[in-house]
């Protein structure tokens, strides 16, 4: 999303160039919009950031490998295995990199398989206290989705529900569930297990929880992974709406600033040959005064106030105005480009 950063830079540049050129209240509003956009942008990327969490051995690392279609994370039959979080992230997403820095996740692998998706394979948490600190306080506020991976054997452990799932309930929109290792039970038993997990989650306060049955062990052909990838893509669409909204806000700010000053009219005066009769210039200015924006009118009035016509002052103003016009035009074009990229169908 470097384009979004560039777009905000252009709005900032326009704000600087609008100083003394556009009406102060219009400049202040544009500056406000730029500031707001920058704050939101700092937290925003169109990559959906997902953390795989859950008890040891439930198959978090195996799920990551199944999503990638190759071995990204180490999997083992010995518990606990993953001892440090691993982030599988798209290249060139500086916001995602910053999120991983903030979370202190140093191990990273490149995702060139699933566009717009970053997956964190979390280690097992050794205590309820560290779980709360890592997942509830640090992870949930920073990621888009936590996929809780459990399996057909352990999903109904009361400790799991009381100690781990209940405290996350206020983030329920951000939590989805995977019921892994369904290859270990009869095919016909799977829907009943999914329902069972759904109703215990409902008792924990998760109404309408998303529960996906999967089998991702290396010896079995992955099952349920397409559905999981689809869920991640649909979350990504929702994020795009947010990015789209930000671009729209910037476009409005650009348009409002452009509307507050007549950026091009009268620019021809810049090319006025030196030594042109003053009378001629005054006539042209008279023309320009009619329907000129308020700042330009003020500048012309000032320039005409003295005994001598201050043509340099007028030229400076027209040049500044034209520069602002060029910056705003470029911002408008960038915004349109970015929007058309956002409208591209999700791969
Ligand atoms: N039968 C079966 N075995 C699985 C499945 N998914 C994972 N396993 C096995 O379960 C064991 C643990 O899998 P991991 O992916 O390492 O589990 P994890 O959640 O990352 O575990 P930690 O890193 O210790 O937290 C491995 O031996 C896997 O091969 C599955 O769907 N079916
Ligand atoms: Mg693991």
- 231-283: per-residue pLDDT in tens? 999 888 887 777 888 888 899 999 999 999 887 777 776 666 666 677 888 88
Q: Going by DSSP bridges, is the β-strand pair 117-121/86-89 parallel, antiparallel, or unpaired?
A: antiparallel
Confirm or reject: Cβ of 150 under 6 Å from ligand 1: no
- Going by alpha carbons, the residue nearest to atom 5 of ligand 1 is 217
* CA 155–ligand 1 middle distance (angstroms): 14
Question: What's the CA gap between 301 and 62, in Å, rounded?
Answer: 74
Q: What pTM value is reported for the model?
A: 0.70
Question: What's the CA gap between 296 and 299, in Å, rounded?
Answer: 5
Confirm or reject: Cβ of 124 under 6 Å from ligand 1: yes
Q: Assess whether pLDDT exceeds 50 at residue 346.
A: no
| Closest atom of ligand 1 to CA, residue 77 | 27
Distances (CA, A) of 221 to 151, 192, 211, 214, 224: 17, 22, 20, 10, 10
Predicted confidence at residue 275, as pLDDT, reads 66
Among all chains, which residue has been given the structure tokens 């990204």? 72
Residues 6+ positions from 138 with CB-CB distance below 8 Å: 103
Confirm or reject: Cβ of 271 under 6 Å from ligand 1: no
Distances (CA, A) of 333 to 10, 67, 184: 11, 37, 56
Burial of 172 (0-12, 13-18, 19+ CB in 10 A): middle
Confirm or reject: Cβ of 82 under 6 Å from ligand 1: yes
* CA 326–ligand 1 middle distance (angstroms): 58
Q: Going by DSSP bridges, is the β-strand pair 211-213/175-180 parallel, antiparallel, or unpaired?
A: parallel
* CA 100–ligand 2 middle distance (angstroms): 18
**Residues linked to residue 149 through DSSP beta bridges, in sequence order:** 178
Confirm or reject: Cβ of 153 under 6 Å from ligand 1: no
* CA 61–ligand 2 middle distance (angstroms): 4
- Going by alpha carbons, the residue nearest to atom 27 of ligand 1 is 77
- DSSP reduced 3-state for 116: coil
Residue range 175-219, pLDDT digits in tens? 999 999 999 999 999 999 999 999 999 999 999 999 999 999 866
Q: Assess whether pLDDT exceeds 50 at residue 25.
A: yes
- Going by alpha carbons, the residue nearest to atom 28 of ligand 1 is 217
Confirm or reject: Cβ of 76 under 6 Å from ligand 1: yes
Pocket probe for ligand 1: among 60, 63, 75, the residue whose CB has the most ligand atoms within 8 Å is 75
Report the 10 Å Cβ neighbour count for 73. 20
215 and 181 in contact (C-beta within 8 Å)?
yes
pLDDT, averaged across the chain: 87
Pocket probe for ligand 1: among 52, 53, 57, the residue whose CB has the most ligand atoms within 8 Å is 57
Residue range 122-141, pLDDT digits in tens? 987 767 777 777 787 788 87
| Closest atom of ligand 1 to CA, residue 54 | 19
* CA 216–ligand 1 middle distance (angstroms): 8
Q: Going by DSSP bridges, is the β-strand pair 86-89/107-110 parallel, antiparallel, or unpaired?
A: parallel
Predicted confidence at residue 329, as pLDDT, reads 94
| Closest atom of ligand 1 to CA, residue 218 | 29
Extract the runs of DSSP E, i.e. beta strands, from the chain. 48-53, 86-89, 107-110, 117-121, 145-151, 175-180, 211-213
The pLDDT of 151-179, averaged and rounded, is 89
Report the 10 Å Cβ neighbour count for 298. 13
């Amino acid at each position: 999303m470097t384009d979004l950063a560039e777009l905000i830079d252009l709005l900032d540049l326009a704000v600087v160039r609008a100083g003394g050129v556009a009406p102060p209240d219009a400049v202040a509003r544009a500056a406000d919009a730029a500031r707001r956009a920058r704050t939101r942008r700092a937290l925003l990327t169109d990559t959906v950031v997902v953390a795989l969490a859950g008890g040891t051995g439930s198959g978090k690392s195996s799920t990551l490998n199944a999503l990638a279609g190759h071995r990204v994370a180490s999997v083992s039959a010995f518990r606990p295995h993953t001892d440090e979080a691993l982030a599988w992230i798209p290249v060139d997403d500086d916001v995602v990199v910053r999120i991983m820095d903030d979370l202190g996740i140093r191990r990273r692998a490149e995702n060139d398989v699933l566009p717009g998706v970053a997956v964190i394979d979390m280690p097992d948490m050794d205590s309820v206290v560290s779980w709360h600190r890592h997942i509830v306080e640090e992870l949930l506020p920073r990621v888009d989705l936590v996929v809780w991976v459990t399996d057909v054997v352990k999903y109904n452990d009361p400790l799991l529900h009381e100690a781990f799932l209940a405290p996350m309930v206020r983030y329920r929109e951000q939590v989805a569930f995977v019921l892994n290792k369904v290859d270990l039970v009869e095919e016909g038993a799977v829907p009943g297990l999914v329902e069972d997990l759904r109703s215990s989650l409902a008792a924990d306060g998760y109404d309408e929880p998303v529960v996906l049955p999967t089998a991702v062990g290396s010896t079995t052909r992955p099952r349920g992974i397409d559905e999981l990838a689809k869920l991640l893509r649909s979350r990504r669409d929702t994020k795009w709406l947010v990015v789209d909204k930000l671009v729209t806000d910037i476009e409005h700010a650009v348009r409002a600033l452009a509307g507050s000053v007549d950026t091009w009219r009268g620019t021809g005066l810049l090319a006025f040959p030196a030594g042109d009769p003053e009378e001629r210039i005054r006539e042209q200015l008279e023309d320009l005064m009619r329907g000129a924006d308020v700042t330009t009118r003020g500048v012309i009035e000032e320039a005409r106030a003295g005994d001598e016509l201050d043509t340099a002052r007028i030229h400076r103003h027209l040049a500044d105005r034209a520069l602002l016009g060029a910056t705003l035009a470029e911002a408008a074009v960038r915004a349109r480009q970015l929007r058309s990229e956002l409208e591209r169908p999700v791969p």
